Structure 1
Amino acid sequence: MIGRIQRPVDFERVLARPSRARSAHFALHHLPSNPAPSAWAAARLRTAQAELSTGEPQAAHSAVEQLPGGEPGAPSGCWLGMVVPKRHARRAVTRTLLKRQIRAAFAAAAGLPPGLWVVRLRSPFDRQQFPSAASDALRQAAHAELAQLFGRALTPRPARPGAPA
């Protein structure tokens, strides 16, 4: 299952961690967790539990975001978030092209561990090399760089010296 990260709190949680892989233009962040439940679902769950009944006990309601069989600590799927700021891609056409390439690369990357993933554009593409906002050259360059980025994320990291085992 591939979902979309939509809440700012989830972006903050993922971006607070160091990047898992970097390329010339992108950074990939990962957090092995489920998205935080929405405030609306949590309020609905509280009101459902607060109802009093003189009859038989009512079945407990579960939040919509929690998938059946999923434990709170173990992520049950992959969620993708994208950060493509205007300061690095001035034209909306370019931002849209990059977001489409990110989604395609994420879908093609088989074997990603479950959790929250955020791809962040960290530096702009050279306007001299890619003068057109939605050129095939820019599309191919972004595609190749993202494929390489996800490939790096799939390779296991070597253990750091002095890190606890």
Structure 2
Amino acid sequence: MIGRIQRPVDFERVLARPSRSRSAHFALHHLPANPAPSAWVAARLRSAQAELSTGDALVIHTPVEPIPPAAPESCWVGMVVPKRHAKRSVTRQLLKRQIRAAFAERPGMPPGLWVVRLRSPFDRQKFPSAASDALRAAARAELAQLLDRVLKAESAP
């Protein structure tokens, strides 16, 4: 299963690490961990351990969200596609769809948090249309090459 990274704290954790692989337009970052638990779960766990001043027994409620295990079990993907590199929202959405599709095609990715970052714009002279088939194919090919490079490095001893 592939999840989506949505919380800023998870993006910060992954992007604080050096990139795992780079291509002409993309950088791939990885952190072998689970997403951070939500603030509600963390606050509930802290309050469950606190002593009450009245001496009454504290009722411990089980959290609605499960506490993630220490070792990552699946992949979570985040995408950073800034406006300075892709001015049109159509282009940004196209690139995000291609990133999700590239991860979906590779079920053997190591578990953890993955962030794909667009690091340079695609040439507007070469791809004049914001959502052209040529741009889609170029982005997909570059992402496939980037992910294959990571898989090859994982399988090598």
TM-based fold match above 0.5:
yes
TM-score normalised over the length of structure 1:
0.83
Give the TM-score normalised by structure 2. 0.87
Mapping of 1:1-165 within 5 angstroms? 1-50=1-50, 52-53=56-57, 61-62=62-63, 64-67=65-68, 70=69, 72=70, 74-156=71-153
Q: Secondary structure at the match of 2:86?
A: coil
1:118-164 deviations in Å (ceiling 9; x for gaps): 000000000000000000000010011111111011112789xxxxx
- Provide the alpha-carbon RMSD of the alignment: 2.1
State the distance in 2 between where 1:63 and 1:32 align.
Answer: 25
1:42 to 1:63, Cα distance in 2 relative to 1, 3 A: farther
Conservation of the 8 A alpha-carbon contact between 1:49 and 1:60: no
Residue type of the alignment partner of 1:37? P
- CA pair 65-94 structure 1, distance change in 2 beyond 3 A: farther
Per-residue CA deviation, residues 12-48 of structure 1 (Å, 9 max, x unaligned), is 1101111111111001100000111111221233345
Question: What percent of counterpart residues are identical?
Answer: 73
- SS in structure 1 of the partner of residue 122 of structure 2: coil
Q: Distance in 2 between matches of 1:10 and 1:83?
A: 12
Distance in 2 between residues matched to 1:63 and 1:83, nearest whole Å:
30
2:44–2:63 Cα contact (<8 Å) kept: no
Distance 1:98 1:130 in 2: 13
SS at match of 1:151: helix
Contact 1:28–1:118 (CA<8 Å) still a contact in 2? yes
| Deviates further, 89-98 or 107-116 | 107-116
Equivalent residue letter for 2:134: A
Distance change >3 Å, CA 59–CA 41, structure 1 → 2 = closer
How many residue pairs get matched?
152
Contact 1:45 1:61 in 2 (8 A): no
1:64 and 1:48 mapped to 2: Cα distance?
A: 15
Distance in 1 between the 2:38 and 2:15 partners? Answer: 19
